[in-house]
Amino acid sequence: MTKRIFLMCLLIVFAARLSAQQDPQFTQYMFNTLYYNPGFSGVEGVTKISALHRSQWLGYSPTYGGGGAPTTQLITFSTPIFKLNSGFGALISHDNLGPFNNLEAQASYAYHLGIKNSKLSFGLRTGVYSQTVDFNMYRTVDANDPLLGDKTGSLTQVRPDMAAGVFWRKEKFYVGAGFDHLLRSTFDFGLTQRNALQTHTYITGGYMYQVNFDLKFQFSTLIQSDLIKTSFNLTSLAYLKDTMWGGLSFRQGESMSLLMGYTFLKDKSMRLGYSLDYIVKDQAAKQVTSHEFMLIYELPVVAGAGKKVVRTPRYRKS
């Protein structure tokens, strides 16, 4: 009986990692829509680069072995392709959770369809998903268990991955649906149990309310599900003169969050954001705070980009 305990524990953790906790979570999700929906590629009409670092349950340490608290890094790139009524996006994501290290490198393309005063876009994303498991971080009950073979050190497997999404945006509203891990690629590391990446659905939505020239509010939500577990986030942000912002967020069954940010440079092309999560559930198994830092930079608009200007001789000066 004890001979199989380690393998059972490994597979339980492995399966949990590939289900509801498979993908990293972000408190500042409203600034990183591209991660959840490839249909967002180029929608904003500007070239944008963003970087984000998340330290979850800061200060957490396991009772055995290494690993420490989960951490996540995300870099995204998005740019419009005006001549093709479309956009291009790319992302690199690194997520560490104890013995697991997940790395994604993917590129996306979206076609934009103008409908009156709104924009509807359809996007696809493809790339690779790499997972590494450090077997040295597990406590073995029977080091000679034949079911484990020679599983020591770190093993890595790389699989293809694909996502699709649709995104609709109007002046004050937006809503989108993204579907990730459509290929359901599997990782087994030579074990008898094969586990697939579960297809995730992400529903995003938001509304911007303008109080006056200096003050506006943004209300947003993120609903995520893998058909096993569904959770939602609700956020309210206030923007002052498009220079600084702050607000509160709630993540179902886990935390309350404080968000704040500031815009730098004369053209307001650089934004720095920060969020602090306070865990309200299962505090005994976690540290009570998580921290997230975000940096966004919008490249200057190139003269002549976008729609071509048609000059009329009638209005030209000689």
Q: Does the pLDDT at position 77 exceed 50?
A: yes
CA–CA distance, 154 with 165 (Å, rounded to integer): 34
Closest C-alpha among 195, 35, 57 to residue 131: 195
11 three-state secondary structure: helix
Q: What is the pLDDT of residues 215-271, one digit of tens each?
A: 999 999 999 998 888 899 999 999 999 999 999 999 988 889 999 999 999 899 999
What is the rounded CA–CA span in Å between residue 159 and residue 186? Answer: 8
Q: Give the single-character DSSP code of 229.
A: -
Token pair recorded at residue 301: 């608009």
Task: Give the span between the Cα atoms of 151 and 155, in whole angstroms.
Answer: 8
Answer yes or no: are the C-beta atoms of 123 and 34 closer than 8 Å.
no
> Could you state, in order of their start, the residue ranges of all structural domains in the chain?
2-299
pLDDT > 90 fraction of the chain, expressed in percent and rounded: 59
Tokens of 122: 């359809």
Q: What is the mean pLDDT of the chain?
A: 83
The CATH homologous superfamily to which domain 2-299 belongs is monomeric porin ompg (2.40.160.40)
The pLDDT value recorded for residue 22 is 72
Residue 278 pLDDT: 92
- Tell me the mean pLDDT in the region 15-38: 78
Sequence-distant (≥ 6) Cβ neighbours of residue 227 within 8 angstroms = 198, 199, 201
